[in-house]
Amino acid sequence: MRKMKRIMAALLAGAVLVSGSFPGAFPCRVMAAESEQDLRPAAEYNLGDILNDPELSGALKELIVGFLTALAGSGDDEAAVGPETGPDVQKEEADAQRPEKTEEEFAGPLPTEWDPTELYADEDAFNAEMDYLSEHAYDVEKYRGTLNNVDAILAITEDEEILELDSIYYRAAMYTQMLTSLDASDPWAKQALARFQEASARYMMGSAFVEPEIMALPLSEREKIFSDERLEPYAWSYHKYVDPDRVTLSEETIQAETLLDQAMSHIQSAYSVFDNVDNKRPEITYPDGTTGTLTDAAYSNIMQSNEYDHDFRREANILRASIREPYQNTYAELLAGEMKRNWAEAQLHGYDSTLEYISARDDLDPELFYQIIEFSHSLMPKLHEYFAAQKEMLGLEEMGSYDISIPFNEYEPPEMPYEDCVKLGREAVKFWGDEYIDRFDSIITSGHIDVYPSDTKDTGAYEMQYGGETLPYVMFNFDGLMDYTSTIVHEMGHAVYSEFSAENQNMYYSMPGSYNQEVASTANELIFFKYLIDNASDEDEKKYWIAREITLFFNTIIWQCVLAEFEDYCYKTIEAGNALSAEAMNEKFYELIKNMYGEDILVEPYIGIDWARISHFYIYCYYVYKYATSLTFATAICNKALEDEGEKENYLEYLKAGDSASPEDLLRIAGVDPSDPATYETAKDYFEDLVDQFVEQ
């Protein structure tokens, strides 16, 4: 049995909306400028995640549609939300709809397309729910003036009518994200999103009185209420109510923030529309005289193919920088707008820096940010050894950052159909045991995976599960190559984690945050590469996969920390009251990249503008460093599990623990302590050993 996490709980716990992003969709890394081995046809990012999210399936959907029809006066009243149709009852029916995994099913072709009608049969059904959410947005008013005792807090925590509104909220968010991902220019996708934003803003404003009312009680009284054993199952969600330092905004301020947030979110959409639609990609002339548009996919092909020489790759690299260079001031203004908005929010909540605010919101020590940056610096000397070895193998006199992804030996990963990639990835992650594979199979056969690219579909890959009422949804852009399996196991790592959490935790604890989510995904990538290295048929193949794993560390730790350092520089500039100019940003970014690549790689100043293409900066706040911490912790976890079978059990316990404790305490369940230097040493040893293997082989 599982219940959905309540948006109310998230609001109460102060866990919602920074930068309009929602804890539930996990965007993927934007890879390093040139290490496009990982970049495949499209950059790994997700533009559709400015929203939020739920989902449902069959029986539950019919129930709600029936219920809304009843409200409209044409159905029967039995469907109205009451004790018998409360979320728990509905949940069991939803469970009954879940496909049971069988070996036969898995043997057949796998489903490859999302079906939005699984969430809403048609536009009318969606509109009816948005009407309902708007009409009932202020139902929570009945608790106003009562929230000064355990009974009342328990009542609002478990109020089934409010739970039902949460359920609608999550489902609509998931639905609109799905439509937007499939075709953001579709009129219905836009209309549905607008309606959802309007209704959800109302809904959030309706509950704006709750936190101020509770926080108006003396601390001693709050401590008494929240230590009551009846509230124990929700204790972690409510821990902020007993934080003596917590700054609480007034109801009016919360409402103003919610309203303004909608306007401010247009900075993000302005960036997306400008960068993806209005700022057209240039034509490139290939050495054979043919021409083509320099799309992300075309660029990626050039970077990975040894059909072209150093000079042509450099030309392509310069051409890509020229996409954004003429508009550098516009990009700088958009970024400054987004960052100032986050800094404003931090100040409203009483913090001295944006990093402190985001860290507090994530229940993390801000020092962890600087700790991982330090750590990434410690990996650079070994990275430079790797580049030097590559340069020698390729026989290049001059090696640019755009040369590091071309093949260095005879091995090339083959083309492979989606089904075979899934089977390969599944073999690798069998490492985690039967229970893990059982969830993997349920999800991959569920029809909740959208596999192939289309002209209108968003690029990248992501996983989402909001509300925990059905299986997770995953989006891929499968390119037909065996290498894509690393993306499959990455996203499936998120999906299995979400599923375990939702199954095992209550409504408040069912959605783990990003700090932990990327641990579950990168752990799978590590296990996958290890599997391929161990099973390589010859030395060339083995070396190829070792290089891929080194690239994983480069992209996920070192490159993300360069981005994080740049982000921190921008926030510090703004927080000190200084202007964020494009020239200064270009210079800073160039300096960081040059330092990262070291002396053997040619890095020229034109690359400085590359910050402008990193969508995460415009959408998320102090997010990218979490990729780096995640792979670091995942390495420690995998190392333990490789040495001791019993550690796998601890890892599964961790996946099942959801969001039931602080991120650091959760990691301790898996046997990893983020504040212990030994954790970082393990990852460093692992990385250095990989480079040694590559160099010596």
Note the residues at the interface with Zn ion (CB under 5 A): 26, 28, 521
Q: Which is nearer to Zn ion, 28 or 153 (CB)?
A: 28
Q: Which of 2, 107, 28, 20 is nearest to 484 (CA)?
A: 28
Q: Would you say 316 and 299 are in contact if contact means Cβ atoms under 8 Å apart? A: yes
Q: How far is the CB of 634 from Zn ion (least distance, A)?
A: 11
625-643 and 367-394 are packed helices; what angle lies between their axes, rounded to 10 degrees?
80
Q: Which is nearer to Zn ion, 132 or 651 (CB)?
A: 651
Q: How far is the CB of 90 from Zn ion (least distance, A)?
A: 30
Q: How far is the CB of 624 from Zn ion (least distance, A)?
A: 12
Other CB atoms closer than 10 Å to residue 321's CB: what's the count?
20
Q: Which of 437, 442, 492, 439 is nearest to 462 (CA)?
A: 492
Q: How far is the CB of 77 from Zn ion (least distance, A)?
A: 45
Q: Which is nearer to Zn ion, 26 or 589 (CB)?
A: 26
The Cα 612–Cα 619 span in angstroms is 12
Q: Which is nearer to Zn ion, 207 or 560 (CB)?
A: 560
The Cα 695–Cα 697 span in angstroms is 6
Cα-Cα-Cα-Cα torsion 233, 234, 240, 244, nearest 10 degrees, comes to: -40
Q: Which is nearer to Zn ion, 28 or 416 (CB)?
A: 28
Task: Transcribe 266-323 into DSSP letters.
Answer: HHHHHHHHIIIIISPPPEEE-TTS-EEE--HHHHHHHHH-TTS-HHHHHHHHHHHHHH
The Cα 522–Cα 527 span in angstroms is 9
Q: How far is the CB of 452 from Zn ion (least distance, A)?
A: 20
Q: Give every CB contact of residue 104 below 8 A, 6+ residues apart in sequence.
A: none
Q: Which is nearer to Zn ion, 26 or 497 (CB)?
A: 26
Residue 586 burial class via C-beta count within 10 angstroms: exposed 0-12, middle 13-18, buried 19 and up: buried
The Cα 506–Cα 523 span in angstroms is 25
Other CB atoms closer than 10 Å to residue 576's CB: what's the count?
7
Q: Which is nearer to Zn ion, 26 or 375 (CB)?
A: 26
Q: Which is nearer to Zn ion, 30 or 249 (CB)?
A: 30
Q: Which is nearer to Zn ion, 241 or 432 (CB)?
A: 432
Q: Which is nearer to Zn ion, 28 or 574 (CB)?
A: 28
Q: How far is the CB of 53 from Zn ion (least distance, A)?
A: 16
Q: Would you say 611 and 617 are in contact if contact means Cβ atoms under 8 Å apart? A: yes
Q: Which is nearer to Zn ion, 26 or 431 (CB)?
A: 26
Q: Which is nearer to Zn ion, 390 or 487 (CB)?
A: 487
Q: How far is the CB of 332 from Zn ion (least distance, A)?
A: 28
Q: Would you say 622 and 364 are in contact if contact means Cβ atoms under 8 Å apart? A: no
Q: Would you say 364 and 663 are in contact if contact means Cβ atoms under 8 Å apart? A: yes
Q: Which is nearer to Zn ion, 26 or 531 (CB)?
A: 26
The Cα 334–Cα 340 span in angstroms is 10
Residue 488 has φ and ψ, to the nearest 5°, of -60, -50
Q: Which is nearer to Zn ion, 345 or 518 (CB)?
A: 518
Q: Would you say 5 and 507 are in contact if contact means Cβ atoms under 8 Å apart? A: yes
User: Helix or strand or coil: residue 470?
Assistant: coil
Q: How far is the CB of 450 from Zn ion (least distance, A)?
A: 16
Q: How far is the CB of 28 from Zn ion (least distance, A)?
A: 5
Q: How far is the CB of 494 from Zn ion (least distance, A)?
A: 6
> How far apart, in Å, are the Cα atoms of 136 and each of 139, 170, 253, 643?
5, 15, 22, 54
Q: How far is the CB of 49 from Zn ion (least distance, A)?
A: 12
In the bound state, the residue with its beta carbon closest to Zn ion is 521
Q: How far is the CB of 473 from Zn ion (least distance, A)?
A: 14
Q: How far is the CB of 393 from Zn ion (least distance, A)?
A: 31
Q: How far is the CB of 687 from Zn ion (least distance, A)?
A: 20
Tell me the residue type at 186.
D
Q: How far is the CB of 26 from Zn ion (least distance, A)?
A: 5
- Residue found by looking up tokens 């991120």 in the block: 663
Residue 521 burial class via C-beta count within 10 angstroms: exposed 0-12, middle 13-18, buried 19 and up: buried
Residue 512, both tokens: 């783990």
Q: Which is nearer to Zn ion, 19 or 498 (CB)?
A: 498
The Cα 342–Cα 355 span in angstroms is 10
Residue 288 has φ and ψ, to the nearest 5°, of -85, 5
Q: For the chain, what's the residue count? A: 697
Residue 544, both tokens: 């190829």
Q: Would you say 524 and 495 are in contact if contact means Cβ atoms under 8 Å apart? A: no
Residue 209 has φ and ψ, to the nearest 5°, of -80, -15
Q: Which is nearer to Zn ion, 26 or 226 (CB)?
A: 26
Q: How far is the CB of 27 from Zn ion (least distance, A)?
A: 7
